[in-house]
Amino acid sequence: MSYGANVTYRYDGSFNGLMTAVYKAISSKKMPENIISEEDSQTILFHEEEVVSDEEISSKMQKYIREKISFDALDNIRRCYFSNAKEKEMLILKYILLGKKYGRKVDTMLSVDAVITMFKVVKRFSNEANFYREFLRFTENEGVLSSVIEPENFVLPYIVYHYEQRIGNLDFLIYDKTHKVALIHKDKHSDIVFIDDFSLPEADDKERFYRELWKGYYNIIGIKERYNEKLRMNLMPKKYWKHMTEFEDMFGSNKENKKCLMG
């Protein structure tokens, strides 16, 4: 594939839309200058071409990736898509082109910039998703569990299964403050919907009681002689603390401190 298209593809921001744009680029055999979403407001220096999302083309593209490259490659691409990586669309296109040429061997080509960058993006995304399985805290109000998170990447699709398995018999809501979306689980069914804003309900007496129990447990199991602040921050990054019940006193009581539900 050669450069020279002098065109920027703009897609609707969906994964199907991105796969359609990738298919268009591969079919034309010319590398676009860039692929951007509808929300991207960057200045366009080249001709802009709108890509209409096509679910059938997207399905064919995903099937091609699974069969000609690997299932792992498609998973890497999805995680990259949900990440906040800059120019992730072009990274995905370059990664797929390498996979088209070398097949499943692409993931062993660690001297190639696109492969190295893809692995770094996927690792950073996966680490954050894992943290939100471990460090997420819920508040209970009238039988519904609620939580607020502020992830850098869009991790909700990658933590929903975990919480469905852990507490799927209860109704729960996880609000992603960064991306203004919420995972709503009700009657054993989950949906991710756009919500402009959400505030946790005020803690009632029962909720405050459980918070104090958790903080007491957290303090009791700590071994003073083995206290290691640096290690704690490595294992439990500080950016998660303000939404964790055990650090409530450090940040002051507020609606975003939650009862613990260990992930």
The residue with greater pLDDT, 125 or 237, is 125
The pLDDT assigned to 259 comes to 41
The pLDDT assigned to 140 comes to 86
| Cα–Cα nearest to 128, from 89, 161, 84 | 84
Helical ranges in the chain per DSSP H: 15-28, 55-64, 71-82, 88-102, 113-134, 156-167, 205-221, 229-235, 248-251
Least confident residue range of 47-56, 57-66, 168-177, 226-235: 226-235
The set of long-range contacts for 160-163, using a CB threshold of 8 Å and a minimum separation of 24, is 160/185, 160/190, 160/192, 162/133, 162/263, 163/136, 163/263
The pLDDT assigned to 44 comes to 67
What's the pLDDT tens digit per position in 75-94?
999 999 999 999 999 999 99
The pLDDT assigned to 252 comes to 53
| Cα–Cα nearest to 138, from 173, 99, 96, 112 | 173
Lay out the sheet containing 171-176: strands in order across: 189-194, 181-186, 171-176, 144-149, 137-141, 259-260
What's the pLDDT tens digit per position in 10-22?
999 999 999 999 9
The pLDDT assigned to 157 comes to 96
* Mean pLDDT, residues 161-175 taken together: 93
The residue with greater pLDDT, 174 or 244, is 174
Note the residue count of the chain.
263
Give CA–CA dist 72/151, Å, rounded. Answer: 24
What is the average pLDDT value for the chain, to the nearest integer? 86
Cβ count near 248 (within 10 Å):
21
In this prediction the pTM is 0.81
Q: Quickly state the pLDDT bin for 128 (edges 50, 70, 90).
A: very high
* Mean pLDDT, residues 233-243 taken together: 72
